[in-house]
């Protein structure tokens, strides 16, 4: 089965992904990586980097038939929701609607939505049941409340199974420093850095903390259950204050100190959710106590969370950002100083330059940085020109009246404005082009990923078609073994065909006499779990008699241990049973309609091959047998002997050969005496040395003495035929 986890690289999502993968699901992740980390997930999965509100998500649904969608992607910071409600709404509502729409369109079986205890607001009817009125205090809580309503209506309108879970404060390994349960990781981060803990309020505010493994267990059980809709609290139904949390942490590592601040806007004073409903419906109970959960989290945090390295990396990034931010100013000032140096005094006189360095300076800054830097360059140049004129003895009050001065300043300003306009226009055009390019690149990357996935699936399917055990080529190769006109050869290969196609370990074929009373083993492959005798009366299979004479497949529905699981009769054109195919030792989980249908196909192929062989043998009787005798001619007898040897090597089928010693008697009369003694599955024939030899199928060396005595009673003298492959 396939499951899609949105926000699968996040704190909760990564645990959900690992749980479903562990249970045998094929897992897919959609995550925009805003807070998730690739290293959070160490199991097999497929990843798509999209926002959940992005229409490109349809590609993911279109190319994967998801059975379950677990929607965890969200903006989870209460403070952010207050500062930027639009961002909160975009992710938490538009993203949800997009997922619901795609789940309906592509026929997802079940949709699980992660809601929050934040929808209850500051309700003091603790523990809070699912029937309490929703009174959220923040846009985050509002978005979750609206999300639940969307799920409810989607279930009613589109018949999509939607389950909403109101999470209490989740904590555990891999948790970030934001979100409702983030207080645990924030405290641990400060303890690890040996910093003081910042506590908002008096610390008596309570939370219903739930360990992440308990939560993922509930989500998985819900996915596997028959629940089709509803809202459920997912909590421990307990209250733990922040002061108690600090006490537990202090027992693990000494806390440096506590900084107390005012309550945060939008925070809830007390929170505890009643989990009676989910415990009753799912049979789920939380297993991890707050003390054990905090210890597990602290142990993971101490080992895996490299705070110092993170801080160093953050400082480097901040430093690089500052350098990038101030670099244009530094370059501008440096170039201006260079202009001053080149325009400085020499022997008390100004240099008379053929090129206006100030104008060149404005051009260079305008073309490289544009906008703000061009204005700065123009201003600095105007100041420099003014200073130069003052140093020449000009009055600052008369300078504006000087047409040359005014023209020069005006020219600098005009050039600066034009360059700034050109640069800004070019920059906007470039940014627009970059956005288009980025969009096309994302589209290409998506199509490339889809193409690669389809290519992999194609290769897998091609491998299955060409090389798998159920491929057309291999099935044809197996069935081809039945393409023979020798009935004994068909019987011999039939058990192997059944074993390979049906994947069973105990197959046998019995022949039935003309009177429909006795069964005689022709060939067996496997261990004979039910100890079916080599010779038996039809009454041994009395439960299957009706099916046998009607030519119908018998299925041992009562699971009687003394008879085979399946019996398939092979009846001739007149409806008379000539042989029975018996199959046993089939694994219980394979007893499906598909298995029965496959058995019908295989046994019908075998039946067709055997009847064809019998008809051929009957048509060729004059050529196969010595005239007026049941004795096979040399060519055909040698062929039967070869088949028996192969059976012995492949299926461990026993047989013995006896040579007739009566040289003085007529072969015709001898053959009729012998034929009355042997069975339908036995053969008489002439060897290449002109010896009259009997082949007794499924008879061991210990049986030979009894058979020799019977022949002697009929006046036939015989002895064991000494030849290689004579016995097993």
Catalytic annotation, residues: 140
Q: Which of 140, 213, 210 is nearest to 179 (CA)?
A: 140
Structure tokens at 592: 């499906």
User: Which positions ≥6 away from 227 have C-beta within 8 Å?
Assistant: 161, 163, 281, 282
How far is residue 611's CA from residue 254's CA, in Å, rounded to a whole number? 88
Using alpha carbons only, how large is the chain's radius of gyration in Å?
A: 45
User: Which positions ≥6 away from 294 have C-beta within 8 Å?
Assistant: 171, 184, 245, 248, 249, 252
Structure tokens at 498: 């059944």
Structure tokens at 32: 């925009």
Question: Would you tell me how many other CB atoms lie within 10 Å of the CB of residue 356?
Answer: 15
Place of tokens 């949390």: 245
As a residue count, the chain comes to 728
Residue pair 671/718 in contact by the 8 Å Cβ criterion: no
**Pairing label, strands 161-167, 26-30:** unpaired
Q: Indicate the DSSP class of residue 365.
A: H
Residue pair 241/204 in contact by the 8 Å Cβ criterion: yes
User: Which positions ≥6 away from 270 have C-beta within 8 Å?
Assistant: 122, 124, 126, 205, 206, 239
Helix axes 371-391, 307-342, angle to 10 degrees: 40
What is the CA 469 to chain-centroid distance, rounded?
A: 23
β strands within 654-707, DSSP E: 655-660, 683-686, 692-697
Q: Which of 627, 614, 544 is nearest to 580 (CA)?
A: 544
**b/e burial code for range 649-683 (CB count within 10 A of at least 16 → b):** eebebbbbbbbbebeeeebeebbeebeeebeebbb
CA distances from 97 to 152, 437, 446 (A): 12, 28, 22
What is the CA 103 to chain-centroid distance, rounded?
A: 17
How far is residue 490's CA from residue 505's CA, in Å, rounded to a whole number? 19
Residue pair 343/380 in contact by the 8 Å Cβ criterion: no
Burial category of 24 from C-beta neighbours within 10 Å (exposed 0-12, middle 13-18, buried 19 and up): exposed
* 29, β-bridge pairs: 5, 47
520: part of which helix (H) or strand (E)?
A: strand 518-525
How far is residue 659's CA from residue 671's CA, in Å, rounded to a whole number? 12
How far is residue 513's CA from residue 680's CA, in Å, rounded to a whole number? 7
**b/e burial code for range 599-627 (CB count within 10 A of at least 16 → b):** beebbebbbebbbbbbeebeeeeeebbbe
β strands within 160-264, DSSP E: 161-167, 169-171, 197-200, 206-207, 209-211, 229-234, 240-241, 258-261
Structure tokens at 695: 């082949």
Residue 578 C-beta-side C-alpha neighbours within 13 Å: 18
Q: Which of 186, 328, 303, 159 is nearest to 246 (CA)?
A: 186
Structure tokens at 121: 């607001």
């Amino acid at each position: 089965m396939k499951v899609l986890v949105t926000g699968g690289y996040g704190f909760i999502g990564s645990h959900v992904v690992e749980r479903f993968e562990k249970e045998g699901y094929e897992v897919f992740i959609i995550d925009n990586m805003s807070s998730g980390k690739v290293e959070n997930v160490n199991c097999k999965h497929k990843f798509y980097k999209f926002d959940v509100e992005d229409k490109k998500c349809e590609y993911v649904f279109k190319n994967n038939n998801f059975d379950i969608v677990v929607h965890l992607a969200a903006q989870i910071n209460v403070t952010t929701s207050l500062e930027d409600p639009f961002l909160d709404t975009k992710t938490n509502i538009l993203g949800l609607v997009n997922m619901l729409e795609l789940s309906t369109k592509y026929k997802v079986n079940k949709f699980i939505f992660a809601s929050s205890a934040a929808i209850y607001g500051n309700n003091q009817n603790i523990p809070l049941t699912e029937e309490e009125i929703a009174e959220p205090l923040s846009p985050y809580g509002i978005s979750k409340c609206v999300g639940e309503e969307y799920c409810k209506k989607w279930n009613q309108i589109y018949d999509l199974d939607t389950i909403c879970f109101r999470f209490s404060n989740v904590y555990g390994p891999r948790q970030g420093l934001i979100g409702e349960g983030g207080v645990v990781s924030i405290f641990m981060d400060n303890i690890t850095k040996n910093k003081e803990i910042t506590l908002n309020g008096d610390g008596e505010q309570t939370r219903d903390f739930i360990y992440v493994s308990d939560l993922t267990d509930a989500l998985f059980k819900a996915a596997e259950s028959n629940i089709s809709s509803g809202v459920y609290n997912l909590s421990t139904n307990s209250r733990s204050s922040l002061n108690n949390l600090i006490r537990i942490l202090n027992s693990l590592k000494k806390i440096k100190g506590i900084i107390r601040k005012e309550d945060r806007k939008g925070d809830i004073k007390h929170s505890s959710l009643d989990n009676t409903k989910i415990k009753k419906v799912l049979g789920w109970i939380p297993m991890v106590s707050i003390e054990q959960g905090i210890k597990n989290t602290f142990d993971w945090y101490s080992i895996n969370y490299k705070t110092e390295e993170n801080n160093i990396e953050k400082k480097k990034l901040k430093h690089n950002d500052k350098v990038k931010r101030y670099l244009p100013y530094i370059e501008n000032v440096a170039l201006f100083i260079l202009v001053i140096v080149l325009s400085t005094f020499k022997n008390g006189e100004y240099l008379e330059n053929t090129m206006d360095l100030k104008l060149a300076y404005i051009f260079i800054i305008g073309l490289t940085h544009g906008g703000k830097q061009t204005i700065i360059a123009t201003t600095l140049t105007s100041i420099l020109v003014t200073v130069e004129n003052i140093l020449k003895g000009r009055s600052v009050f008369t300078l504006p009246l000087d047409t040359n001065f005014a023209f020069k300043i005006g020219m600098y300003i005009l050039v600066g404005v034009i360059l700034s306009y050109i640069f800004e226009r070019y920059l906007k055009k470039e940014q627009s082009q970059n956005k288009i390019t980025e969009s096309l690149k994302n589209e290409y990357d998506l199509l490339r990923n889809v193409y690669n996935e389809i290519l992999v699936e194609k290769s897998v399917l091609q491998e299955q078609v060409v090389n798998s055990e159920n491929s057309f080529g291999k099935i044809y190769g197996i069935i081809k073994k039945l393409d023979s006109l020798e009935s004994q050869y068909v019987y011999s290969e039939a058990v192997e065909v059944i074993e390979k196609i049906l994947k069973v370990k105990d197959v046998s074929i019995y022949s039935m006499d003309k009177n429909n009373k006795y069964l005689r083993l022709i060939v067996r492959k496997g261990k004979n779990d039910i100890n079916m005798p080599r010779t038996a009366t039809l009454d041994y299979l009395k439960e299957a008699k009706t099916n046998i004479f009607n030519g119908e497949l018998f299925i041992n529905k009562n699971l009687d241990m003394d008879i085979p699981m399946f019996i398939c009769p092979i009846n001739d054109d007149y409806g008379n049973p000539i042989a029975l195919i018996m199959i046993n030792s089939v694994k219980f989980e394979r007893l499906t309609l598909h298995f029965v249908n496959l058995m019908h196909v295989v046994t019908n192929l075998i039946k067709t091959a055997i009847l064809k062989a019998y008809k051929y043998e009957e048509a060729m009787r004059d050529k196969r047998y010595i005239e007026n005798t049941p004795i096979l001619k040399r060519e055909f007898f040698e062929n039967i002997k070869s088949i028996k040897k192969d059976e012995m090597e492949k299926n461990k089928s026993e047989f013995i050969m006896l040579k007739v010693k009566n040289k003085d008697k007529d072969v015709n009369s001898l053959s009729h005496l012998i034929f009355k003694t042997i069975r339908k599955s036995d053969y008489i024939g002439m060897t290449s040395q002109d010896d009259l030899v009997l082949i007794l199928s499924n008879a061991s060396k210990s049986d030979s003495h009894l058979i020799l005595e019977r022949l002697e009673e009929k006046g036939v003298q015989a002895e064991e035929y000494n030849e290689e492959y004579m016995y097993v």
